[in-house]
Each structure stands twice: as structure tokens, then as C-alpha cells.
């Protein structure tokens, strides 16, 4: 039963869970000898309704997994593009309930959907309540960039109870021990941040990303998705040559920052990225 009454049908009661959709997305990509395309937009940006329209456009253009950002006023990892989008969403009154409604709508499109959120908003909402409501909305899990497994006990317990994927990050500076702990704790996939910097489109993906993926593969059989810096089809193809997933956020957000009505431009960029993960580099 849907808990929000918005968007597509919830997976609850059907035997299909968000995490199973997430596993299926990466398995399908692997079977097709390609990487999965993971797309990101903040909930409520440029508005609630336009965000849902934009998500539909991106899914139709080839996104395999969706990250719905929970707008937050004090981000640590967000670059200026995503910060500007989050500020617009917050100014429009977007709250956690709206994020969950967006998850339900996107999951209802048949695509695996996770939330990207800093820890403070989840703690304010209530960890057990958030896990319950995220699962009811058809969500697959949550990426928590400012949380480490050793301090995530309440979230790990709640996620396990609701069959959600806790997704933590590794970075080029991560020790082998840190990578091992994250790999043993994560479900769904491991998020490999290509750089220690904030989010943002770059002219080239960090040359440390491939080495990070290789180090992480030694610790896990989970899919490894690389984020931070990918903005073109060619860059997506490069990353798809060594990673299981390619995460794109700022480049997609920028299209709508420049023109909230440019759904055609958003579709074109998404299609180029989807082509990139399918052809790979070289």
C-alpha cells in the first residue's frame, strides 16, 4: 500500500523490494556487458512537479538507478551546482516528506531508487521512521556521505529490518582497512568517490578513480559505482571501462539550473551518458 498516495504503486506487498530492484539493475547491466547509469536530482528541484517530470525524462533516456537528493542547508560534499539546486528546493518548502513522495513516484516508474542524504535530516525525522517510510515508498536504500559504518548502528539496524541498502563511500584517501569495513557493511553497491573534493562536473575524471576501484574489488563482490566529475558521454565511457556504475549529478542538475524548462536538453545529455556506459572507452 502506498503511504503517500503520490506517484506510482509501492512495491510493498508484491514480493518486490527496492533493494531487489537495485540488485537487478546492476545484474542487468553486467549481463549486457556495460555499466549501470546512476542519475541524480534533488527532490523539489526546480519544483516538485518539474522534478518528477525530469526524473521521467531521465528514466526514459536510459538511467538505470536513481539518486534522489534530500536538500539540506549545510552540505559538506556538495559543490556550487548542487548547492544552488538544493537552495532552490528548500526555498520552495521541500521537506523530507516531499523527498519520500518523490522516491515513490520514481520507484513507481520501475527504476531502482535510493536517497542521497546527510545524516542530520534523517536523525531529525527518526531513523526507524525514515527506514520504514522509505521502504514503504519503494526505495532501495540511502547513501549517507557524512556517516561511517562504525557510527551507523541505528541506521544499519533499521535498514536491515526494512530490507534497505546502507551505502557508504570510499575515496582515494581511504585505507585498505577502511575499504574493507565499507565493503563488508554496504549492500546494493559501493560508492567510490573519484576525488576528495566536492561534487561538480569536471573536464576530466580523477586518474585515481581506476586505482580506487581496483583496490575496492579486492574487498568485495558488490558492484562499484564511481561518482564525482562525470559530465559527458566520453567520460562515462571511460569510467564504464573499469567500474560497474557511473554516477552523474552536477552535469544533469546544471541543465535545469540554466533553464528549468529544458527537458529536451536534459534528455539529450542523459542519452549521451547512457550511450557512454554502453560503448565504454577503447
* Whether residue 207 has pLDDT greater than 70: yes
* Whether residue 2 has pLDDT greater than 60: no
What 3-state DSSP class applies to 36?
A: strand
Instruction: Please give the domain boundaries of the chain with CATH numbers for all domains.
Output: 19-279 (3.20.20.70)
pLDDT in tens, 231-268: 999 999 999 999 999 999 999 999 999 999 999 999 99
Res. 72 pLDDT band, cuts 50 70 90: very high
d(CA 13, CA 120): 30
**Looking at 32, 49, 60, 78, which residue is catalytic?**
78
Q: Given this model, what pLDDT does residue 16 score? A: 58
Q: Given this model, what pLDDT does residue 195 score? A: 61
How many C-alpha atoms does 249 have within 13 Å on its Cβ side?
Answer: 31
Q: Given this model, what pLDDT does residue 8 score? A: 35
Are 60 and 109 spatial neighbours (Cβ–Cβ below 8 Å)? Answer: no
Which stretch of 14-23, 36-45, 149-158, 250-259 has the lowest confidence by average pLDDT?
A: 14-23
Res. 281 pLDDT band, cuts 50 70 90: low
**Looking at 67, 98, 133, 238, which residue is catalytic?**
67
Q: Given this model, what pLDDT does residue 208 score? A: 82
Query: Cell numbers of 256, please?
Result: 535545469
The most confident of 73-87, 112-126, 182-196, 268-282, by mean pLDDT: 112-126
Query: Cell numbers of 121, please?
Result: 535530516
d(CA 48, CA 100): 12
Q: What is the pTM of this model?
A: 0.90
Active site residue 78: yes
Res. 14 pLDDT band, cuts 50 70 90: very low
- Which H or E run includes 229? none
Amino acid at each position: 500500500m502506498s503511504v503517500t498516495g503520490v506517484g506510482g504503486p509501492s512495491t510493498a506487498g508484491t514480493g518486490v523490494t527496492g533493494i531487489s530492484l537495485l540488485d537487478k539493475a546492476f545484474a542487468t547491466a553486467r549481463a549486457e556487458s556495460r555499466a549501470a547509469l546512476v542519475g541524480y536530482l534533488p527532490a523539489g528541484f526546480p519544483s516538485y512537479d518539474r522534478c518528477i517530470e525530469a526524473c521521467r525524462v531521465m528514466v526514459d533516456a536510459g538511467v538505470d538507478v536513481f539518486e534522489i537528493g534530500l536538500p539540506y542547508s549545510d552540505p559538506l560534499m556538495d559543490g556550487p551546482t548542487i548547492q544552488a539546486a538544493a537552495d532552490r528546493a528548500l526555498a520552495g518548502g521541500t521537506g523530507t516528506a516531499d523527498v519520500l513522495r518523490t522516491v515513490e513516484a520514481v520507484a513507481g516508474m520501475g527504476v531502482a531508487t535510493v536517497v542521497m542524504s546527510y545524516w542530520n535530516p534523517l536523525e531529525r525525522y527518526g531513523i526507524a521512521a525514515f527506514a520504514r517510510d522509505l521502504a514503504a515508498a519503494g526505495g532501495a536504500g540511502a547513501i549517507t556521505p557524512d556517516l561511517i559504518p562504525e557510527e551507523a548502528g541505528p541506521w544499519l539496524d533499521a535498514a536491515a529490518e526494512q530490507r534497505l541498502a546502507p551505502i557508504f563511500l570510499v575515496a582515494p584517501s581511504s585505507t585498505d582497512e577502511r575499504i574493507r569495513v565499507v565493503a563488508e557493511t554496504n549492500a546494493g553497491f559501493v560508492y567510490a568517490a573519484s576525488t576528495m573534493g566536492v561534487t561538480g562536473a569536471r573536464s576530466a575524471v580523477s586518474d585515481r578513480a581506476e586505482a580506487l576501484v581496483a583496490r575496492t574489488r579486492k574487498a568485495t563482490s558488490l558492484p562499484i559505482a564511481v561518482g564525482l566529475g562525470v559530465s559527458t558521454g566520453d567520460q562515462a565511457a571511460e569510467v564504464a571501462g573499469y567500474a560497474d556504475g557511473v554516477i552523474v549529478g552536477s552535469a544533469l542538475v546544471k541543465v535545469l539550473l540554466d533553464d528549468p524548462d529544458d527537458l529536451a536538453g536534459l534528455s539529450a545529455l542523459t542519452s549521451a551518458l547512457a550511450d557512454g556506459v554502453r560503448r565504454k572507452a577503447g
